[in-house]
Chains A and B, each alone.
Chain A
Amino acid sequence: MKGAYDIITIGGSAGSLSVLTMLLDALPENMRMPVVIVLHRLRNVESEMGRLLSATKKIREPEDKEPVKDHHFYLAPQNYHLMIEADKTFMLDYSELVNYSRPAIDMTFSSVAEVYGHRALCILLSGANKDGAEGLCEVIAAGGTGIAQDPQTATFEAMPQSAIDLCRDVKILTIEEIIKFIFFET
């Protein structure tokens, strides 16, 4: 249904870059809602990840307390967990690694589940560990929609497969199907 979501959150790790680029380039320039991306990245190196991800979309790394705005693409900065507060501002967190990762996809998904409930759409792409699975299931439990990249099409299947194994009602879609879903259902 059109207008069913207030946010799209995408998590990815090993093997997710190329599909993420494909997905981002396919999305319209002017999305009605914010798109928040969480990728596992190296922690203390300078990186131009935002620019690498998409030639067509301007992707910014949010600062603490910055409001989450519609029409914007955001990327979780290196070495912080990224969460969203009840007043729809970003909150950065420099606490322990979760699933060996900071940023951890679980942390972001979990806060999105709490703040956006059924208005959240979360997508979990290729990756070699289980980060994001619990968070995706929390999104679904809160009435939101959780999509896992079809493990058969993922370079590393562990991450989407963990979500599929952990809870029911995960939508299993290929990248092409995910793009269609975003076009027709959001």
Chain B
Amino acid sequence: MKEDISAVDFLDIINIVKLQYGYDFAGYVQASLKRRILRFMSRTNISTVFDLKHRLINDSELFTHMVQYITVNVTEMFRDPRFYRTLREEVLPKLAAYPNIKIWHAGCSTGEEVFSMAILLQEAGLLSRTKLYASDLNPMNLEKAATGIIPLDNMKDYTYNYIQSGGLADFSNYYTARYDNVLIKKELRKQINFFQHNLVTDTVFNEFQLICCRNVFIYFNRELQNHVLQLFYDSLSSRGYLAMGIRESMRFANIHKQYETVHAQEKIYRRKS
């Protein structure tokens, strides 16, 4: 029979993690977080919630390991090709008017989306005057992202996505393949700065013309969604753009009135003033 976590135990775990390690998961959607904690327990042979709590209090390495499991670190290059086509055709030409462009990828995971953005910027002739800030709460993701290494197996899908997004170059120009991996070219990565930032607990740190935060909101409850949408509002320059995942919606958040819709289907919004 499946192990379960009671509501009380769940809160205990959230509190231990918050007090001991400073990560606040209280605003995360419970069903998926619970499922991922259970999965972590089964993979690490922790059979009871009591054991989990005990070990979390006493073993910081276990927590580092748990963060890997309970955060979702799945990503793709040029995921939702039509979104990237819209960026290419409708957003980047607007950004081109700025002498210097700053873009923030919040929740960048292992970097695939920010690499995709760098390619778009390169093709639009904007990369050299753009600074890309890519943040995640998970330091292991950032370490991996900073290497620029991606498994070769994925490149077939990514090439397909790239072409669907309107890419006209030979996609293999953007990386060098070696054995089972590819290395994204240095020239694409040199404008990217990877750093740790927690959307729940950390604050505004710069001002951006575009913020991409895709498939992160789905893990947050409405209250936390509102909080993060406010953080983004405060981090955007006047008329700056915000891109969410194509199935994520702002309409259930109170703050949506401060944003106007640029592209409803691709979930691209703009700060009103």
A interface bracket (residues with beta carbon within 8 Å of B): 20 to 34
Given A64-B217, A86-B30, A92:B247 Cβ within 8 A: yes
Contact status B31-A111, CB under 8 Å: yes
Contact status B82-A46, CB under 8 Å: yes
Q: Which of B2, B161, B218 has the most A CB atoms < 10 Å from its CB?
A: B218
Chain B residues numbered 194-216 whose CB sits less than 8 Å from any CB in chain A? 215
Q: How many residues of B contact A (CB 8 A)?
A: 29
Q: Which of A46, A92, A111 has the most B CB atoms < 10 Å from its CB?
A: A92
Chain A residues numbered 76-97 whose CB sits less than 8 Å from any CB in chain B? 77, 79-80, 83, 85-86, 91-96
Note all chain B residues with C-beta closer than 8 A to A77.
247
Given A64-B249, A65-B252, A92-B247, A83:B32 Cβ within 8 A: yes
Given A80-B247, A94-B245, A95-B72, A85:B31 Cβ within 8 A: yes
Interface of A is mostly: loop
Contact status B248-A94, CB under 8 Å: no
Report how far A44 CA is from B36 CA in the complex, Å: 25
Q: Is the C-beta of B79 less than 8 angstroms from some C-beta in chain A? A: yes
Q: Is the C-beta of B74 less than 8 angstroms from some C-beta in chain A? A: yes
Report how far A93 CA is from B245 CA in the complex, Å: 11
Contact status A44-B160, CB under 8 Å: yes
Q: Is the C-beta of A6 less than 8 angstroms from some C-beta in chain B? A: no
Chain A positions 35 through 67: 1 when the CB is less than 8 Å from some CB of chain B, otherwise 0: 000000000111000000000000001111110
Q: Taking A79-B80, A114-B31 as given, write out 4 further A-B residue pairs in contact, using a Cβ cutoff of 8 Å, ordered by the A residue number.
A: A65-B225, A86-B30, A86-B31, A92-B218
**Which A residues fall within an 8 A CB radius of B?**
44-46, 61-66, 77, 79-80, 83, 85-86, 91-96, 111, 114, 138, 141
A sample of 20 inter-chain contacts (CB < 8 A) reads A44-B81, A44-B161, A44-B164, A62-B247, A63-B247, A64-B217, A64-B247, A64-B249, A65-B225, A65-B252, A80-B218, A85-B31, A86-B30, A91-B31, A91-B218, A92-B247, A93-B32, A93-B72, A93-B219, A111-B31
